[in-house]
Every structure is written in structure tokens, then in C-alpha cells.
Amino acid sequence: MSDGVRREIEIKASPEEVWESLATEEGRDRWLEDDPEREIHVEVADEPSRLVWWWWRGDEPATRVELLVVAAPAGARVIVVESQPAFPLVALAQAFTLVAV
């Protein structure tokens, strides 16, 4: 496994509201881009604080996503760690594209 990419954000919502947006298909539909080819397999769901899923499109390698939801002064802090079993050069290039925009 690669070490992955770690991101954090504080959201002005309760941890329970954030959990609902992460852990349910209806919640994800409100913020995650529509991609009919994307598959999501939930590995761990420890409500309301930890969610782990694998996602992929078609024949692409699966990516492991771990989301932690903790109470914070603004409401909730979400910590996301995304990793893949092997180092993906395409993802690296895309990361620089995203940073440069």
C-alpha cells in the first residue's frame, strides 16, 4: 500500500449530519460527482466516526478511502486518507493539475 494522500476540512455541520452525507448513497449523491461507471464497496462503517471504502472505475486499480469524522469547534472535522496498492503515476499528474488550478 502507498502512504496515500491526507486531507482535512472543517464543516459547519454536526458530525451526525456529515456522517449521513458520507455513509449513505443519497448523501453522497448530493456532493459527489455523478459517475455511472464508479463502483464503491464499503469495507468498514463505524457510525458516526469512521468509514472505509474502496472505489474504482472499470478496469482501473481500486483506491482505498478512509474517512474520519470528529467533533470540532466549527461543527465537524473530516479527515480523508486515500491510498492505492501501487503508486499511480496518472494520479500524481492529476494531483499537480488540481493544485495548479
Note the pLDDT of residue 48: 92
Mean per-residue pLDDT, 72-97: 72
Q: Residue 97: is its pLDDT beyond 80?
A: no
Tens-place pLDDT, residues 57-76: 988 888 999 999 999 998 99
Q: Residue 25: is its pLDDT beyond 70?
A: yes
**Average predicted confidence (pLDDT) for the chain:** 83
Give burial (CB, 10 Å; 0-12/13-18/19+) of 51.
buried
Tell me the three state secondary structure of residue 63.
Answer: strand
